[in-house]
């Protein structure tokens, strides 16, 4: 089903070539930022850690980017893509999927989301798209802070194990990275994985509060992962069973 969804998205002329997207779909070469003297595309220099840890996987490895958002700006996977990797991008915002189709053609793009169960859920699209969310609590907080709500849409959601079962290759040893940035659903997404079957080398996950960070660290520890870095609000965890 998900493979059919990906093919349908790729064929969609309204998604891939909307005239309204022309201005948004420019990808300036200067979009990266300086971090400790190096150019990074991630929010807090996360891709510096990923480049160092995942260099053996540049040729044959793949990633799954949940809440992929923009193809390059604040992306944990763009630099890996530029170095030859590819993978699956999960992004519920239509206009951002269109940008991924244009600028990252080697990737599989899924215009959906990952959540605690398969089904449909309300998606709150905000004017600052990086804050769009399935969490009403998060949406209300952003709106109260002055970010306008642009629309509410129902989107299909799948568990992480469903997405991975459908989309990743049989050679799971090459599963290099899982990146999760889902504005309030991060913990539930991690819980929806089958960690015995699908074990990325590294997992990057956002935690905006210390309580959530502690719960995520406990969850990842029970799955056999250890924290190797903290970059801003993102923790990076490494598989200790490899």
Quote the pLDDT of residue 38.
58
| Residue 46 belongs to some domain of the structure | yes
Judged against a pLDDT cut of 50, whether residue 21 lies above it is answered with: no
pLDDT band at 209 (very low <50, low <70, confident <90, very high): confident
Tell me whether residue 124 is in a domain. no
Residues 6+ apart with CB under 8 A from 190: 160, 180, 203, 205, 216, 219, 220
- Asked if the model's pLDDT at residue 9 lies above 70, the reply is no
Mode of pairing for the β-strands spanning 225-231 and 62-66: unpaired
The pLDDT tens digits for 86-130 are 999 999 988 899 999 999 999 999 999 898 889 998 989 888 877
The answer to the question of residue 53 being in a domain is yes
Does residue 160 register a pLDDT over 90? yes
Within the chain, strands assigned E span 33-35, 38-40, 62-66, 86-90, 108-110, 113-114, 119-126, 149-158, 175-180, 202-206, 225-231, 234-239
CA dihedral (233, 185, 98, 81) positive or negative: positive
What range defines the domain where residue 202 resides? 2-15+33-116+160-239
Question: Distance between CA 200 and CA 242 in Å, rounded?
Answer: 10
Of 225 and 5, which is predicted with more confidence? 225
152 domain residue, yes or no? no
Q: Give the whole-number percent of the chain exceeding pLDDT 70.
A: 84
State the CATH number of the domain containing residue 75.
3.40.50.150
Q: Which residue has the tokens 């459908």?
A: 166
197 within some domain: yes
pLDDT of residue 218: 97
202 belongs to a structural domain: yes
Determine the pLDDT at residue 32: 54
Question: Which residues, in sequence order, are CB contacts of 206 under 8 Å at separation 6+?
Answer: 180, 181, 182, 183, 186, 233, 234
- pLDDT class for 10, splitting at 50, 70, 90? very low
pLDDT band with cut points at 50, 70 and 90 for residue 16: very low
Answer yes or no: is 205 within a domain: yes
Query: What's the confidence (pLDDT) of residue 7?
Result: 44
Does residue 174 fall inside a structural domain? yes
Q: Is 144 a residue whose pLDDT tops 90? A: yes
- What pLDDT sits at residue 27? 54
Question: How many domains are there within the chain?
Answer: 1
């Amino acid at each position: 089903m998900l493979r059919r969804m990906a093919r349908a998205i790729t064929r969609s002329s309204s998604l891939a070539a909307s005239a309204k997207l022309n201005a948004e779909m420019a990808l300036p070469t200067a979009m990266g930022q300086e971090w400790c003297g190096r150019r990074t595309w991630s929010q807090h220099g996360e891709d510096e850690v990923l480049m160092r840890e995942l260099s053996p996987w540049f040729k044959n490895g793949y990633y799954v980017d949940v809440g992929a958002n923009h193809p390059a700006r604040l992306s944990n996977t763009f630099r890996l893509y530029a170095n030859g990797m590819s993978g699956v991008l999960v992004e519920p915002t239509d206009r951002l999927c269109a940008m991924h189709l244009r600028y990252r053609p080697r990737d599989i793009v899924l215009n959906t989301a990952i959540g605690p169960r398969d089904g449909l859920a309300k998606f709150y699209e905000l004017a600052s798209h990086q804050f769009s969310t399935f969490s009403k609590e998060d949406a209300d907080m952003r709106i109260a802070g002055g970010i306008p709500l642009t629309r509410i849409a129902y989107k299909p959601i799948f568990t992480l194990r469903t997405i991975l079962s459908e989309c990743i290759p049989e050679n799971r040893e090459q599963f290099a990275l899982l990146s999760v940035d889902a504005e309030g659903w991060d913990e539930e997404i991690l819980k929806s994985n089958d960690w015995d079957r699908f074990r990325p080398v590294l997992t990057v996950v956002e935690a905006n509060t210390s309580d959530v960070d502690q719960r995520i660290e406990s969850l990842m520890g029970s799955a056999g992962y250890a924290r190797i870095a903290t970059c801003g609000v993102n923790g990076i965890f490494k598989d200790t069973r490899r």
